[in-house]
Structure 1
Amino acid sequence: MSSSPTAPPGRGRRESITKRLNPIPSRHPALAQPPVGEAEGTGRLDTVVFGVAAVVALAFVAWGFLGSDSLSSASGGALTWIETNLGWLFVVLASAFVVFVLWLAASRYGRIPLGRDDEAPEFRTVSWVAMMFSAGMGIGLMFYGVAEPLGHYVSPPPGTVEGETADAARTAMATTLFHWSLHPWAIYAVVGLAIAYGTFRRGRPQLISAAFAPLIGRRRAEGPVGKVIDVLAIFATLFGSAASLGLGALQIGSGMEILGWAGDVGNGVLVAVIAVLTAAFVASAVSGVARGIQWLSNTNMVLALVLAVFVFVVGPTVFILNLVPEAIGAYFSDLGEMAGRTEASGGDAMAEWLRGWTVFYWAWWISWTPFVGLFIARISRGRTIRQFVTGVLLVPSVVSLVWFAVFGGAGIAAQRDGADVAGQATSEGQLFGVLEQYPLATVMTVLVMVLVAIFFVSGADAASIVMGSLSERGTLSPSRGIVVFWGVVMGAVAAIMLLVGGDDALTGLQNLTIIAALPFALVMVGLAVSLAKDLRSDPMVLRRAYATEAVEQAVVDGITRHGEDFQLVVEPAAVDPVPNAVAPLPAEDRVRDEAPAGRPRDPRD
């Protein structure tokens, strides 16, 4: 029988009593630091989140294909109720999020890093800005680059100015920037900040539900309430991304019709386009060509830049240059009026206009927040909150300004010169209508279709990874099967959204996006409250509170006792002895009666 060294008599018992009476204190919250590395989820499938989301999504797909008329009727009724009773909510929340993130950046919380105190930014500023630029591009800019400024130029918002005038051009650019600059990116910033702060500063998993721990407690955030939040995040991503894919299909179909590759493009052709591009996405996901998709995405950025430079050079260059400062001035001049537009200010005409533009945009941006928020959070580690807000609001806003000045200016100039692009082409075809005015029209039309197709595939890839991550407890590398599943479902939902819209497929995309985004809008309100509460107990904030109180008391005491000639010294505070306290056992195996040092009053008490 083996033997082991024998402990001195009584020592084990004394150590046990000592540790029980005087446990080693945990690290003070003012000095707490997150663990090194990322807090990644387990990667195990969350059967509740995935099961509920998958069953409901598949039920929606079945309903859409088997009874699109009844789905259209039900969605129409739901939309009418939302617009009548809650349209104001989207308008108020969008502006509230702008104020919230600007307050965070300007307040004492702006100095807090999204990581450890001594952690440098993960990416250089140039690379960070470049990636932020890529996030600001997408199918939406391709679809609305000409369509929105031109639409507002021909038919300005109700009660503003007369169409197709100089004032209409000014109002058109201001309204377009209102929809594409500070407001949408403030919406993204709320989710991006909550995820980045919780993951890199607090060491939590990259889940929407995890960011609610300060508000509802960790147990609830990991329990049924948290699972409901993650399911809603999946649905928001699903419908928002599907709307983008539907817009891409509409634009590709319009290009095919202009090039003579198809006759009148109906819903059948659009569904076929979605099926082909979804198959391309599945092939890329199954083959694991991540580098290939990354290469295609980078190529897409270059091709988009080539297209913009082409339109700028061969188009109305001077008009575009004049439009940039005028758009900036008009935006800030009309910002208050644009942010306050509701049905009350314009009746039914304003309600219909808001549904097609502002309310749809705010709902679309909200539904995209899980995807874009996770992306900008992932690339912003080590940045301070002030740097994060500044970069997220300004960089994409500048990109949008330049993009819409180039393409919107080209569309307005063509319409002003008698081309009637707005009357001859649908919304999805107006970019092609402008390109027809320039040389190399066929080449540029094909380039646009290639751009949209690659945006479709890479966008479906990224959105499916986000939904897969939410389905597998926040893992950064979800399983390939789950990613493919959500990609296929997303393509099916995009097809159904087009079918529900009937002859006006764009209406179906807009209506279902607004309905799906409403629950997640409420989630975002809770997310902002949770983030604000979390920041109040940040180690940097606590240290400043301790320092302010300690220095103030020391200065008062120093002046009282010594006048102006004194110095500050840090030493343990003197407190009354605590009865029956036992200090940790020293190396020489002796127990001394020594009262433990006290601590300053916690500012949170």
Structure 2
Amino acid sequence: MAKPNALLICSLCVIAVVGIWGVIDIDGLVGWASGLVQQTFHSRGWFVMLAASGMLIGCLFLAFSSYGNIKLGRDDEEPEFSTASWVAMLFSAGMGVGLLFWAVAEPLTHYRFISGMAPDFIAAQQAMLATNFHWGLHAWAIYGSTALTIAYFSFRRGTGMLVSAPIQSLFPGERWAVIVGWWSDFMAIIAIAIGVGGSMAMGVFQVADGVAVMMNREVAGTLLIGAVFIAMVAAYVPALMIDLGQGMSRLSNAAMLIAIALVAYTIVLGPTEYLLNTVVQGFGDYATNVISRGFQTYTFFGDDVAKWFSDWTLTYMVWWIAWGPFVGVFVARISRGRTIREFVIGVLFAPTLFSILWFGAFGGIGLFEALNGAGELLNMTQTNVERVTFGLLERLPFPVLTTLATVLAAFLFIVTSVVSAAFVLGTFSTAGDANPPPKIRLIWGALLGLLSVAMILSGSVDSVKVLISLGALPFVFISVLLMVCLFRGLREEGDSRADR
């Protein structure tokens, strides 16, 4: 059994301090975090966008270069999972409850903002483009570059599944590599813990609001939110005591099947022709703007647009970076035996296409209502953003059934994410132990719960987004370093093959 080390002790202490600070003085924590995040976005926003776009271009280059034929494993190794199961697992790990939470609310929020500066039809088109950009190729390139680096060095070079492994593998014995590697693992732990804690808080908000809808309550009170949180803890604590086996993947797949059923239900029973047109146009707009959008920093658009850019685009990019180490390790583990080309095409394009379909269906209904005179859902984005998805479902047949399905899917996504995150955090903090001791997993589960409580006490989704950004900011630079390590490792392998 791995013994507690300096990395474990330091990371536990930092996360505990942040969690306790949030419980005791959430306003102070949010205020400090908000000031730091805004200052960093103002001075380094260009670097965040450059890094995200660089990771996307780097992944695409690898897929369509000679390196694309290299397998993540032995040259004769076959994939462990079928393509369908692999895509389902990586998608459920990478997005989860966020899709349910923002399905309608995000396109409508962007529409409200843009409609003050442009005609309604332009505002609707740009709202869908912004939403698809936030959930599309750039997000999955951030995940994919981290996962690809970890998978390559683990399966081709036999290193541990740690963020530090590529750095220390390329520069063995170098003191600076040891220091940077330790810091990389430490910041990965911080980013994962705060990111998952924030997503857990958002999941609690949405599940509680869904239950409130089924109970005919106007809002989810404190007692109901507390009860949902306790139910989630009660669901994930027992799972931390056993090995991470097929049970968790089945729960994730069940949640994904519910999500697929919901989007199909929405398209069939909603304004079908309008929604399909929205999906097709959304795909075309995104495909023709994705690269240029990745370099857009809104330099000449004034303070209001700059604030929107920071609050949404930059926040999303660092949000994906916060989840990068966690999703990266998971995606790497399930991708052994695939070529780099298969990996990149599957990781980047399959989830992006589903996201465009998802937001085209749910966001399309919200925009349909807003453009045709009814503004109830639009107003709800300002008064109760957690309820917007449920508000849409109430406008379609069988609202009780679909609300229950949404609540169940959100609950499953959060429980599986917390359990998986506790395992990954245990692995990182015990020098790469693939099966960290139950005691370590329980400690991380408790700390994730503590962070979630702190973010729930903020009572604001915007505050949760700020705290997630705080945890991820330092990892932006580490993500770029990992991509550099991957290219250097591939070049070394190419040179060694040429010398044979």
CA distance 1:221–1:139, change in 2 (3 Å): farther
Q: How does 1:557-596 map to 2 (within 5 A)?
A: none
Kept in 1, the 8 Å contact 2:97–2:410? The answer is: yes
Kept in 2, the 8 Å contact 1:233–1:520? The answer is: yes
Note the alpha carbon deviations across 1:178-216, whole angstroms, 9 max, x for none: 111110011111111111100100011111111112554
Higher mean C-alpha displacement, 284-293 vs 66-75: 284-293
Note the alpha carbon deviations across 1:318-348, whole angstroms, 9 max, x for none: 1111112211111133335532332523231
**Deviation, structure 1 residue 261:** 6.3
Instruction: Work out whether 1:175 is the aligned partner of 2:130.
Output: yes
Higher mean C-alpha displacement, 193-202 vs 93-102: 93-102
CA distance in structure 2 between the partners assigned to 1:197 and 1:383 by the alignment: 11
Identify the residue that residue 412 of structure 2 maps to in structure 1.
Answer: 454
Question: Relative to total residues, which structure has the larger helix share, 1 or 2?
Answer: 2
Q: Could you tell me the TM-score, scaled by structure 1's length?
A: 0.77
CA distance in structure 2 between the partners assigned to 1:368 and 1:415 by the alignment: 33
Instruction: Work out whether 1:125 is the aligned partner of 2:83.
Output: yes
Identify the residue that residue 496 of structure 2 maps to in structure 1.
Answer: 542
CA distance in structure 1 between the partners assigned to 2:331 and 2:470 by the alignment: 25
The one of 458, 461, 473 aligned to 1:506: 461
Q: How does 1:89-488 map to 2 (within 5 A)?
A: 89-156=47-114, 161-162=118-119, 165-218=120-173, 220=175, 223-260=178-215, 264-265=219-220, 269-286=224-241, 290-342=245-297, 344-420=299-375, 421-424=377-380, 426-488=384-446
**Deviation, structure 1 residue 62:** 1.6
RMSD over equivalenced CA pairs, Å: 2.3
Kept in 2, the 8 Å contact 1:267–1:498? The answer is: no
Identify the residue that residue 24 of structure 2 maps to in structure 1.
Answer: 66
> What SS does the aligned partner of 2:299 have?
helix
**Deviation, structure 1 residue 166:** 2.5
**Deviation, structure 1 residue 458:** 0.8
Output the amino acid matched with 1:400.
S
Identify the residue that residue 35 of structure 1 maps to in structure 2.
Answer: none
CA distance 1:127–1:296, change in 2 (3 Å): closer
Output the amino acid matched with 2:111.
Y
Kept in 2, the 8 Å contact 1:97–1:187? The answer is: yes
Kept in 2, the 8 Å contact 1:79–1:515? The answer is: yes
Output the amino acid matched with 1:546.
D
Note the alpha carbon deviations across 1:122-180, whole angstroms, 9 max, x for none: 33334333433433551011111111122223322886x33xx2222222221111111
Kept in 2, the 8 Å contact 1:209–1:221? The answer is: no
CA distance 1:101–1:118, change in 2 (3 Å): same
Higher mean C-alpha displacement, 181-190 vs 284-293: 284-293
Kept in 1, the 8 Å contact 2:166–2:485? The answer is: yes
CA distance 1:290–1:193, change in 2 (3 Å): closer
CA distance 1:186–1:133, change in 2 (3 Å): same
CA distance 1:307–1:126, change in 2 (3 Å): closer
Higher mean C-alpha displacement, 415-424 vs 280-289: 280-289
CA distance in structure 1 between the partners assigned to 2:64 and 2:411 by the alignment: 41
CA distance in structure 1 between the partners assigned to 2:3 and 2:374 by the alignment: 56
Q: How does 1:7-46 map to 2 (within 5 A)?
A: 44-46=2-4
> What SS does the aligned partner of 1:342 have?
coil
CA distance in structure 2 between the partners assigned to 1:252 and 1:127 by the alignment: 27
Q: Percentage identity across aligned positions?
A: 37
Higher alpha-carbon Rg: 1
> What SS does the aligned partner of 2:240 have?
helix
- Identify unmatched segments of 5+ residues in structure 2: none
Higher mean C-alpha displacement, 310-319 vs 113-122: 113-122
**Deviation, structure 1 residue 106:** 2.4
The one of 32, 40, 57 aligned to 1:82: 40
CA distance in structure 2 between the partners assigned to 1:192 and 1:383 by the alignment: 13
CA distance 1:287–1:199, change in 2 (3 Å): closer
Output the amino acid matched with 1:253.
A
Identify the residue that residue 14 of structure 2 maps to in structure 1.
Answer: 56
> What SS does the aligned partner of 1:117 have?
coil
Identify the residue that residue 600 of structure 1 maps to in structure 2.
Answer: none
The one of 484, 504, 529 aligned to 2:484: 529
Kept in 1, the 8 Å contact 2:159–2:169? The answer is: no
Higher mean C-alpha displacement, 468-477 vs 281-290: 281-290
CA distance in structure 2 between the partners assigned to 1:171 and 1:334 by the alignment: 11
> What SS does the aligned partner of 1:346 have?
coil
**Deviation, structure 1 residue 226:** 2.2
Higher mean C-alpha displacement, 262-271 vs 306-315: 262-271
Kept in 2, the 8 Å contact 1:64–1:496? The answer is: yes
- The number of equivalent residue pairs is 497
Note the alpha carbon deviations across 1:205-244, whole angstroms, 9 max, x for none: 1111111125543554884432221111111111111121
CA distance in structure 2 between the partners assigned to 1:70 and 1:133 by the alignment: 36
Kept in 2, the 8 Å contact 1:45–1:471? The answer is: no
CA distance in structure 2 between the partners assigned to 1:459 and 1:478 by the alignment: 17
Note the alpha carbon deviations across 1:272-322, whole angstroms, 9 max, x for none: 532331232113323668554343323222222222222111111111111
**Deviation, structure 1 residue 417:** 3.4
Higher mean C-alpha displacement, 84-93 vs 232-241: 84-93
Note the alpha carbon deviations across 1:504-546, whole angstroms, 9 max, x for none: x1111111111211111111111111111111111x5422x33
Kept in 1, the 8 Å contact 2:89–2:253? The answer is: no
Output the amino acid matched with 1:241.
V
